[in-house]
Amino acid sequence: MVSCQPARRREASEPAYACMALLIDYGASSRPRHAPSTSELPSPRPRSRTRRTRDHRANARRSALFRRNYTMLGAVFAGAFAFEMFYDSTMNNIWDKINKGRQWKDIRHKYVESEE
């Protein structure tokens, strides 16, 4: 163990303790520098290419609904299309309520003569 004694009267740029460099070097060199032996390494085992989930019920539900990738892709596209239709109609209704009386469909009867 290294004992640190306060250094002599120091300049502003010098470290507070003379042994600070020794402590830094000691900490860096305390790690082992040898490669682990083969007995320390874990034995290799084959791994699956797919990620396994711990919730088997969720995995079973997913595989029951989407057995093929194209089935899931179709469901995603259909869901996106349905969401787009819902969102578009909702935004149009909100726009019409905010701008009621200012749109052409609301004031057309004032400017167009009837053709009767």
Q: What is the pLDDT of residues 5-62, one digit of tens each?
A: 555 555 555 555 555 555 555 555 555 556 656 666 666 676 666 665 567 777 777 7
Q: What is the pLDDT of residues 57-76, one digit of tens each?
A: 777 777 777 778 888 899 99
DSSP 19-86: THHHHHHHHHHTS--SPPPTTTSPPP----SSPPPS-HHHHHHHHHH-SSHHHHHHHHHHHHHHHHHH
Global model pTM greater than 0.75: no
